[in-house]
């Protein structure tokens, strides 16, 4: 009887781990679609990952003052799809994803390049929720710097 209880507990625990890993993989896939769309200049691909109420924020420092800047999603999508000679290549260095039911956060350090030319680095802090259509980005808050990017 003791072995049956342990086996059942093991199966339940293993199932929970598999479900959690599946959610993490789905969140990562949503984020990857955003950056793949940016590289392709495909605003439709990019817009599919955002919730209708999504926000884009940047923590900016200028003249030793810190501020929070918001950019409309529509402006970002227009910039993504505008013809340009260079490829926007945001290279994600790591994914730290936490999921609790239908809410997820992701912390993604990055380096941004225009084609192969380094532009800046920083961190993206994502918030996502599990909608009826899959994981959607609610908000991205990022930092940007050109120094200390080693």
Indicate if the pLDDT at residue 74 is higher than 70: yes
φ, ψ at 127 (rounded to 5°): -125, 135
Please, what are the domains in the chain? 2-143 (3.10.450.50)
Which residue reads 């003249």 in tokens? 63
pLDDT attached to residue 150 = 74
pLDDT attached to residue 3 = 64
Q: What is the pTM of this model?
A: 0.82
Q: Report residue 108 as tokens.
A: 């993604």
Of 132, 130, 143, 137, nearest to 37 by C-alpha is 137
Using an 8 Å Cβ cutoff, are 51 and 135 in contact? no
Most confident region among 15-19, 131-135, 144-148 by mean pLDDT: 131-135
How, if at all, do strands 103-114 and 96-100 pair?
A: antiparallel
pLDDT in tens, 84-137: 889 999 999 999 999 999 999 999 999 999 999 999 999 999 999 999 999 999
pLDDT attached to residue 17 = 47
Which residue reads 């200028």 in tokens? 62
Indicate if the pLDDT at residue 21 is higher than 70: no
pLDDT attached to residue 63 = 85
């Amino acid at each position: 009887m003791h072995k049956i209880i342990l086996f059942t507990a093991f199966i339940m625990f293993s199932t929970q781990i598999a479900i959690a890993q599946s959610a993490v993989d789905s969140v990562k896939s949503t984020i990857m679609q955003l950056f793949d769309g940016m590289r392709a200049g495909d605003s439709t691909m990019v817009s599919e990952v955002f919730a209708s109420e999504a926000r884009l924020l940047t923590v900016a420092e200028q003249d030793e003052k810190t501020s929070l800047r918001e950019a409309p999603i529509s402006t970002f999508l227009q910039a993504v799809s505008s013809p340009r000679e260079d490829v926007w290549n945001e290279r994600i260095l790591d994914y730290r994803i936490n999921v609790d039911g239908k809410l997820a956060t992701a912390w993604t350090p990055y380096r941004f390049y225009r084609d192969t030319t380094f532009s800046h680095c920083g961190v993206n802090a994502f918030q996502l929720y599990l909608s009826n259509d899959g994981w959607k980005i609610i908000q991205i808050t990022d930092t940007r710097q050109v120094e200390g990017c080693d």
